[in-house]
Amino acid sequence: MKKQKVIDKIKDNPLYPLRHSTEHVMHMAVESLFPGAKKVMGPPIENGFYGDFDYEGKITEEDFPKIEERMRDIVEANLPILMRDAGFKELKEIFKDNPFKLEMIGEIEKDGGNPTVCEIGNKEGRYYDIDLCAGNHTGRTSSIGAFKLLSVAGAYWHGDEKNKMLTRIYATVFETQEELDEYLEMIEKAKERDHRNIAKEMELFFMDDEVGQGLPLWMPNGAFVRHKAMEFAFNTYLERGYLPVTTPHIASEALWSHSGHLDFYKDAMYNSFGIEDEQYRLKPMNCPMHIKIYNHRPRSYKELPFRTAEMGTVYRYEKSGVLQGLTRVRGFTQDDGHIMCTEEQLHDELMEAMDLTMFVLKTFGFDDFEVNLSVRDPENKEKYIGGDKDWDKAEEGLKLVLKNFGFEDYITDVGGAVFYGPKIDIKVSDAIGRKWQLSTIQVDFNLPSKFNMTYIDNSGDQKTPFMIHRALLGSLERFMGVYIEHTNGAFPVWMCPLQVQIIPIGDKHIEYAQKVSEKLKEKNIRVKIDDRSETMQAKIRDAQMQKIPYMFIIGDKEIENNGVSVRLRTEENLGLKPLDEVIEKIEKMYLTKSLNLW
Amino acid sequence: MKKQKVIDKIKDNPLYPLRHSTEHVMHMAVESLFPGAKKVMGPPIENGFYGDFDYEGKITEEDFPKIEERMRDIVEANLPILMRDAGFKELKEIFKDNPFKLEMIGEIEKDGGNPTVCEIGNKEGRYYDIDLCAGNHTGRTSSIGAFKLLSVAGAYWHGDEKNKMLTRIYATVFETQEELDEYLEMIEKAKERDHRNIAKEMELFFMDDEVGQGLPLWMPNGAFVRHKAMEFAFNTYLERGYLPVTTPHIASEALWSHSGHLDFYKDAMYNSFGIEDEQYRLKPMNCPMHIKIYNHRPRSYKELPFRTAEMGTVYRYEKSGVLQGLTRVRGFTQDDGHIMCTEEQLHDELMEAMDLTMFVLKTFGFDDFEVNLSVRDPENKEKYIGGDKDWDKAEEGLKLVLKNFGFEDYITDVGGAVFYGPKIDIKVSDAIGRKWQLSTIQVDFNLPSKFNMTYIDNSGDQKTPFMIHRALLGSLERFMGVYIEHTNGAFPVWMCPLQVQIIPIGDKHIEYAQKVSEKLKEKNIRVKIDDRSETMQAKIRDAQMQKIPYMFIIGDKEIENNGVSVRLRTEENLGLKPLDEVIEKIEKMYLTKSLNLW
């Protein structure tokens, strides 16, 4: 049998006890350093933890060394961390000055819970803390590992701006200093690679308040690269037997009601607007429209698998507070496809979808994948559409494909399924080791019956097809966000708006530069001559900043030898090369979608 | 000086007196044949005229021969058609039994007008008619020409469904029988070519009530052809120096208010919907977003002309009653572009836009153009944004380009300008002689100042750029509607989803068919083998109906000779040809975007 991990990303993380214990230690340090500061709460989060305090004064990043020093003191004291049951009376006495804890205690009492506390050290010692806590710690403060405070921010109690503003300190912790350093280095690198900054430098995209938050406007350089990604994906799908379709961005509520989106997906949909006597909504998904195309006339088994492909722009609600660059937006284009097939074809179609995913992601240079299988939460079946038999069938189908495809160590996310079916999600590791979810392959046993999808099988009987949703790049916007960071803006040659910058050293070299430019254009290589009256060094610097793959320096020597001196955007200087050889090389890089420059 | 026509499409049509007089004769014929029928009104329209009657009985198309015979009788009687002034008292007496006419008379009286009547024949003669009329007729009934009644329908008085339903008869009339026959033949051809019927047969697109009216869903065949049109246009724009941009389909009302659309274009915009505390609307135009991209940072004169291009899908309100196939829809994709340039560049940029238009339209096979210049209505200046100086400058600029481009006989449409500026519209003649407006080139002196668009000129001064809007195919949807009818669904080889259908005569010919198919695929020719167990004749018929350009028939003889027998979708049989020659030929047709098949 295959190994399966069933995890809660935060609670089942092996670093949870470490993070949780360090959070207590941070609370202790802050309370001892800032008289009047009251600990409120603070859970472990994806890459560390945070702690909230109620404090009238101001805690800034400049206080971090002092707090960290006090934390190290508590660690060195090697205090035991112990859990025990506590009565409500005792708790109310302990926290009589802390209205936040009193509120939490009141809630546990109301729910009939049995409160527990965590005690660190003993009352007589130098450091002592008692806190309302559900447990899961390291045994002693000495084993909490290597930690670092990262940032401080304001946060409302319960996230509600009507409540009091608290002080929130973000921090992280690892078992060893080495791991911590590695993580801090990655954060540093990630900051340097922030796609919002790169996009600014390279003029890729921006947001505009008048247009609206979370709605990117793609500038020429960005629109070009995005278009290249889209063109490659779409043409690949057509070559692999998908049929192109094009559908509108709005539909009447009749459709969303029929599809179930108004019941199960309403929170992610924008409000309706009236056209004559009907209400319309922006589409959050393309599926119902692809189904309409399938359903347009009766289908025969001979037409199956029927695979649709559309670069479909959808609009989904995200709170303004969580919008972030291209990775969290309100409108995005999916490289969306739907496969309608017979039961016998399901396995092959899922295998083919996975193979296509690998091909597309690898073309972009991703080769390290993490696979997640998201299944239904059996405790909350009412959250999902569809019967048990269908769900079991779909989940088993996906597991079989993962096995056959050799993904042995995939992660099962119980409760992570979409309301209409289970799915496989594929994450890629980027150049600095972060993981990003891009591709998704989902089986759907719900919509086919909801829309009465049928086909006539080879004995003339009417049957219901299986349906697969798949998006390989996922959201073009999110993909671009990830890809900008992955490549640091140095896109592969085939995607670059400008592939060659020709830099004539002086005015007398411009004529030859033009001849070179013409030769490149004949081979469909995108080229520009930088004939500004700047120094060669300045021109090279500018081309480098724009991440143009090749710079051709042209002076007397190059003209004499019918060549060009080639510099790469990596700052590598290849020296004088015969022109024909260079053109042939670049053309090859371009046509083969190579990730290399030379 | 250049000749200029300033026309009202209906009133200034040379056929107006003919149409108007024939309408009177039709009224006379109906009143004399159907006792109790009361004439109501009926104007000349674009291709003829209609007449409304109040009649308790039913008039059907079966009555047309009888009515036409009576009309011919009146024509042969050669009655004079005379205009004269009339008093309100006299009129009220004449029309005392006709409440519709009495209402009209009452309105003229209220407005202080001087009513006139038209009398045909004299009271003592066999036929006599008197009607409230503003004039413009032929002199006698004998000169009304060749007419034909076309259809009958119900129509509400004043177009309001709360009013009485009247009987409306549509008809047409020409100076000669030959012209009438020509027109009737064109209507017949047009019916055969109705893109909605062709789209049904070829599975190109459809509308769905649940999705919503006027929102086409493109099926694989249609989406493919549309994609090819779009791809060709977009790549051409990039080759000609346009910069790609991509913008969202919605924007906050702040933008539409800033741009003036909420003041001057609101009727064509859909209702707003709220996102958090802002109201958003679907975009009816792309311009403000392209401006945002231009405005993203200060621009230098060195960056001008700055040309943006986007295949931008916009949504505009049309009443459900006027929606029609692809030619009148609620959402469509524009091949939209904006050119920001200096005053000195304006002429060249307009010339270049016109040249590009001609290149694109001619590639699709259009070569007969009608050019309209739409200028402001000087009597209704408040309908437009912008000052007199700007308008005069823009209108003169466009006239100069038309002159330089050699369009001598363009039509000036006074009052036809958009609220933000004057424009050139280009109509094409299709295969059966109908004219369709596709391309538009518009100068805009309004938005640049509204959005504070600037550039730094070569002396370091800040200036306002000129702005040109242009869409060459116009709306992709409308273009496709026109193009389906123009080509009768027989698209050029480069656009066809399937270029070659291979028809093996028997099962033993399938292996060779597969080899041929592989060879074609190597040359990127789109091919399918029809290996169904149908007769060759049935397979040929099916391929013909799908308008696949080439059919390759393969039997013993073809295999022996290493060739294929080629049939064209025109039913032309080219007989046995060597395979290599055929492939070379088709590849050439495809790559050169030839409109020919051989």
Instruction: Please write the tens of the pLDDT for every residue from B136-161.
Output: 888 899 888 899 999 999 988 988 88
Q: Least CA distance to B272: which residue of chain A?
A: A273
Q: Report the C-alpha gap between A397 and A522 in whole angstroms.
A: 50
Contact state of B218 with A278 under an 8 Å Cβ cutoff: no
Of B495, B201, B223, which is closest to residue A245 (Cα–Cα)?
A: B223
Distance from CA of B309 to the nearest CA of A (A): 9
Q: What is the percent of chain A where pLDDT is above 90?
A: 76
User: Using a CB-CB distance cutoff of 8 angstroms, which residues of chain B are in contact with residue A219?
Assistant: 245, 293, 296
Distance from CA of B278 to the nearest CA of A (A): 9
User: Using a CB-CB distance cutoff of 8 angstroms, which residues of chain B are in contact with residue A248?
Assistant: 211-212, 215-217, 331
pTM: 0.85
Distance from CA of A222 to the nearest CA of B (A): 8
Asked whether A327 and A481 are in contact (CB, 8 A), the reply is yes
User: Using a CB-CB distance cutoff of 8 angstroms, which residues of chain A are in contact with residue B331?
Assistant: 248-250
Residue B321 tokens, joined: 């009653």
Q: Report the C-alpha gap between A261 and A289 in whole angstroms.
A: 13
- The secondary structure of B307-322, three-state, reads EEEEEEEEECCCCHHH
Q: Report the C-alpha gap between B268 and B519 in whole angstroms.
A: 51
Distance from CA of B216 to the nearest CA of A (A): 7
- The secondary structure of B57-87, three-state, reads CCCCHHHHHHHHHHHHHHHHCCCEEEEEECC
User: What average pLDDT does range B447-473 have in this prediction?
Assistant: 95
CA distances (Å), origin A223, targets A211, A364, A500, B180 = 17, 17, 19, 53
Place of tokens 């392959």: A441
Q: Which of A20, A38, A330, A338 is catalytic?
A: A338
CA A178 to chain centre: 26
- DSSP letters spanning B117-170: EEEES-TTSSS-EEEE------SBGGGS-EEEEEEEEEEEGGG-TTS-EEEEEE
**Closest partner CB to B251 (pick from A212, A254, A317):** A212
CA A563 to chain centre: 45
Query: Domain A196-247+299-487 is of which CATH architecture?
Result: 2-Layer Sandwich (3.30)
Q: How many CB atoms lie within 10 A of CB A263?
A: 11
Residue B26 tokens, joined: 């039709």
User: Using a CB-CB distance cutoff of 8 angstroms, which residues of chain A are in contact with residue B254?
Assistant: 209-210
pLDDT digits (tens, 9 = 90+) for A442-469: 998 889 989 999 999 999 999 999 999 9
Q: Tell which of A245, A246, A499, A524 to mutate to test the B interface (max B CBs under 10 Å).
A: A246
Fold for A493-591, please state it: Rossmann fold (3.40.50)
Where does residue B444 rank: exposed (0-12), middle (13-18), buried (19+ CB within 10 A)? Answer: buried
Strand B278-282 relative to strand B273-275, pairing = antiparallel
Q: Report the C-alpha gap between A359 and A471 in whole angstroms.
A: 13
Q: Number of A to B CB contacts under 8 A, please give it.
A: 161
- In sequence order, the β-bridge partners of residue A566 are A552, A575
CA distances (Å), origin A483, targets A46, A187, A475, A539 = 22, 17, 12, 26
Checking if the pLDDT of B500 tops 80, the result is: yes
Position B4 scores a pLDDT of: 42
* Of A454 and A2, more confident: A454
Distance from CA of B222 to the nearest CA of A (A): 8
Sheet holding A116-120, edge to edge: A81-85, A116-120, A129-132
Q: Which long-range contacts (CB under 8 A, 24 or more apart) does B174-182 make?
A: B174/B15, B174/B18, B174/B145, B174/B146, B174/B147, B175/B15, B175/B18, B175/B145, B175/B146, B176/B145, B176/B146, B177/B146, B179/B146, B180/B145, B180/B146, B180/B147, B180/B148
Q: Which of A52, A334, A341, A413 is catalytic?
A: A334
Position B45 scores a pLDDT of: 85
Q: Domain limits of chain B?
A: 8-192, 196-247+299-487, 249-285, 493-591
Is-catalytic flag, A469? yes
Q: Report the C-alpha gap between A70 and A50 in whole angstroms.
A: 17
Contact state of B254 with A315 under an 8 Å Cβ cutoff: no
Q: Say which residues have a Cβ less than 8 Å from residue B434's Cβ, sequence separation at least 6.
A: B186, B190, B485
Under CATH, to which class is B8-192 assigned? alpha beta
Is-catalytic flag, A316? yes
Q: Report the C-alpha gap between B574 and B492 in whole angstroms.
A: 19
**Closest partner CB to A212 (pick from B212, B250, B319):** B250
User: Using a CB-CB distance cutoff of 8 angstroms, which residues of chain B are in contact with residue A215?
Assistant: 248, 250-251
Q: Least CA distance to A227: which residue of chain B?
A: B244
Which residues of B are known to be catalytic? 287, 316, 334, 336, 338, 423, 469
Residue B133 sits at φ, ψ, to 5 deg, of -160, 145
* Lowest-pLDDT choice from A321-330, A404-413, B195-204: A404-413
pLDDT digits (tens, 9 = 90+) for A236-274: 999 999 999 999 999 999 999 999 999 989 999 999 999
Vertex A40 angle, CA A36 and A41, to 5°: 145
Asked whether A38 and A98 are in contact (CB, 8 A), the reply is yes
Position B389 scores a pLDDT of: 80
User: What average pLDDT does range B553-578 have in this prediction?
Assistant: 96
Checking if the pLDDT of A2 tops 50, the result is: no
DSSP at A19? H
Mean pLDDT rounded to a whole number for chain A: 92
Contact state of B211 with A252 under an 8 Å Cβ cutoff: yes
Q: pLDDT-based confidence at B2, cuts 50/70/90?
A: very low
Q: Tell which of A213, A275, A306, A499 to mutate to test the B interface (max B CBs under 10 Å).
A: A275
Q: What is the percent of chain A where pLDDT is above 70?
A: 98
Q: Which of A118, A133, A287, A341 is catalytic?
A: A287
pLDDT digits (tens, 9 = 90+) for A361-418: 999 999 889 999 999 988 888 888 777 887 887 888 899 889 888 888 898 989 888 8
Q: Which of A307, A423, A486, A539 is catalytic?
A: A423
Q: How many CB atoms lie within 10 A of CB B122?
A: 11
User: Using a CB-CB distance cutoff of 8 angstroms, which residues of chain B are in contact with residue A313?
Assistant: 249
User: Using a CB-CB distance cutoff of 8 angstroms, which residues of chain A are in contact with residue B256?
Assistant: none
Checking if the pLDDT of A287 tops 70, the result is: yes
User: What average pLDDT does range B337-344 have in this prediction?
Assistant: 94
* Lowest-pLDDT choice from A501-510, B263-272, B385-394, B543-552: B385-394
Q: Report the C-alpha gap between A527 and A590 in whole angstroms.
A: 13
Q: pLDDT-based confidence at B544, cuts 50/70/90?
A: very high
Q: pLDDT-based confidence at A8, cuts 50/70/90?
A: low
Checking if the pLDDT of B20 tops 60, the result is: yes
Ranges A38-42, A141-145, A485-489, most confident: A485-489
Q: Tell which of A206, A250, A270 to mutate to test the B interface (max B CBs under 10 Å).
A: A250
**Closest partner CB to A275 (pick from B218, B252, B270):** B270
Distance from CA of B164 to the nearest CA of A (A): 23
Q: pLDDT-based confidence at B7, cuts 50/70/90?
A: low
Asked whether B55 and B124 are in contact (CB, 8 A), the reply is no
Q: Report the C-alpha gap between A339 and B192 in whole angstroms.
A: 35
**Closest partner CB to A255 (pick from B210, B296, B319):** B210
Is-catalytic flag, A567? no
Distance from CA of B550 to the nearest CA of A (A): 21
CA B186 to chain centre: 16
Contact state of B218 with A245 under an 8 Å Cβ cutoff: yes
Contact state of A273 with B272 under an 8 Å Cβ cutoff: yes
Q: pLDDT-based confidence at A3, cuts 50/70/90?
A: very low
CA within 13 Å, CB half, A11: 7
DSSP at B429? E
Q: pLDDT-based confidence at B21, cuts 50/70/90?
A: very high
3-class DSSP state for residue B39? strand
Distance from CA of A16 to the nearest CA of B (A): 36
3-class DSSP state for residue B414? strand
User: Using a CB-CB distance cutoff of 8 angstroms, which residues of chain A are in contact with residue B209?
Assistant: 254
User: Using a CB-CB distance cutoff of 8 angstroms, which residues of chain A are in contact with residue B531?
Assistant: none
Position B139 scores a pLDDT of: 86
Asked whether B414 and B395 are in contact (CB, 8 A), the reply is no
On the question of a cis peptide bond just before residue A115, with omega within 30 degrees of 0, the verdict is no
Is-catalytic flag, A338? yes
Position A552 scores a pLDDT of: 98
Asked whether A219 and A227 are in contact (CB, 8 A), the reply is no
**Closest partner CB to B313 (pick from A211, A223, A249):** A249
Mean pLDDT rounded to a whole number for chain B: 92
Q: pLDDT-based confidence at A7, cuts 50/70/90?
A: low
Asked whether B132 and B117 are in contact (CB, 8 A), the reply is yes
Checking if the pLDDT of A323 tops 80, the result is: yes
Contact state of A293 with B317 under an 8 Å Cβ cutoff: no
User: Using a CB-CB distance cutoff of 8 angstroms, which residues of chain A are in contact with residue B307?
Assistant: none
Q: Tell which of B203, B262, B275, B498 to mutate to test the A interface (max A CBs under 10 Å).
A: B275
Vertex B483 angle, CA B481 and B486, to 5°: 115
Position A1 scores a pLDDT of: 29
* Of A169 and B418, more confident: A169
Distance from CA of B261 to the nearest CA of A (A): 14
Contact state of B249 with A315 under an 8 Å Cβ cutoff: yes
CA within 13 Å, CB half, B107: 6
User: What average pLDDT does range B442-471 have in this prediction?
Assistant: 94
- The secondary structure of A298-348, three-state, reads CCEHHHCCEEEEEEEEEECCCCHHHCECCCECCEEEEEEEEEEECCCCHHH
Contact state of A210 with B280 under an 8 Å Cβ cutoff: no
User: What average pLDDT does range B68-87 have in this prediction?
Assistant: 93
Checking if the pLDDT of A595 tops 70, the result is: yes
pLDDT digits (tens, 9 = 90+) for A97-111: 999 999 999 999 998
Contact state of B330 with A245 under an 8 Å Cβ cutoff: no
Contact state of A275 with B211 under an 8 Å Cβ cutoff: no
- In sequence order, the β-bridge partners of residue B537 are none
Residue A422 tokens, joined: 């289970």
Checking if the pLDDT of A419 tops 90, the result is: no
Place of tokens 């459709």: A255
ipTM over 0.95: no
Q: Least CA distance to A247: which residue of chain B?
A: B217
**Closest partner CB to A248 (pick from B215, B219, B275):** B215
Q: Least CA distance to B242: which residue of chain A?
A: A220
